Structure 1
Amino acid sequence: MWDDFDNDDFDEDDEAEFQRERDEKKKHPLAVKSKDILELTFALVGSLDEARSELYGSLMIESASILGAKFSGAHAVDSYVIKMENAVIMKVHARSLGGLTYQLSMEETHAEEHLQLLRDALDEFKALFKEWIKTFESAERYDDGWGLFCD
């Protein structure tokens, strides 16, 4: 089975291009901020009491994790539609994560300063996000049958 695999089409230039693209994605400000948000979220969830951790923890970590994952998915393709789909999912999860900080604030479980750190990171993420979506090439639009993000 593996004897049929033809590796002649993949050369050192392809490897260098792959490494360059991977490094570019990892160093992108939105990827870096996504990682910061995930780390802040883990710290915040780790300090929750058992009941609140069970209630909010998985939601918060899921939302924080999705930010970076969807960025990577959008960064990997040229399709405007797929980029926009991923961007919308990122926006929804960033807003959800922010909303949960206000819920925790209302329950008075954390010092407001700790919650504000995550909110500030989300505000920074939002600013980077707005600049990032301006880079999407709308010429790569196509009708995927759902009618979203098309003219």
Structure 2
Amino acid sequence: MTNELALDRQVCFALYSASRATTAVYRPMLERLGVTYPQYLVLLVLWEKDGRGVREICAELELDTGTLSPLLKRLEGLGFIERRRLTSDERRVEIHLTESGSALRSEALDIPRQLAHKTGMTVEDLEHLRDSLVKLTGALHDTEGQSLT
């Protein structure tokens, strides 16, 4: 008889373990850049499109402003970003990369390849895994508003 509640059968635990292991592998690569994993995620968003609003970054990373604000403050202190108030609406702030923040991108270019090497998986394998996780996340977000009864 299969134990459906065995820890090793739980998707949530496999995702949790994989997330922790992945973050641990990223840590030394990111230390070389001088940033933490959450700060790296913010930089990835800005390297895609510079000059984003705080709300836009929050939405992209699925974070609340209380979590994002300290990340932005630290990145600003490191000299990688700057905040600019919009002249058209002083309540809104856009986040821009500094020259140092933009230059850091070239130093980060090999991180996906390094990750693939450390996992023993190909970049294509990791892309398939990512696509499956994106699909899972989308399905779970779709069910958040639905009643389980």
Query: What's the TM-score bracket when you normalise by the shorter of the two chains?
Result: 0.3 to 0.5
Which structure has greater helix proportion? 1
Instruction: Report the structure number with the largest CA radius of gyration.
Output: 1
Instruction: Return the structure number with greater strand share.
Output: 2
Provide TM-score, normalisation by structure 2.
Answer: 0.33
TM-score under structure 1 normalisation?
0.33
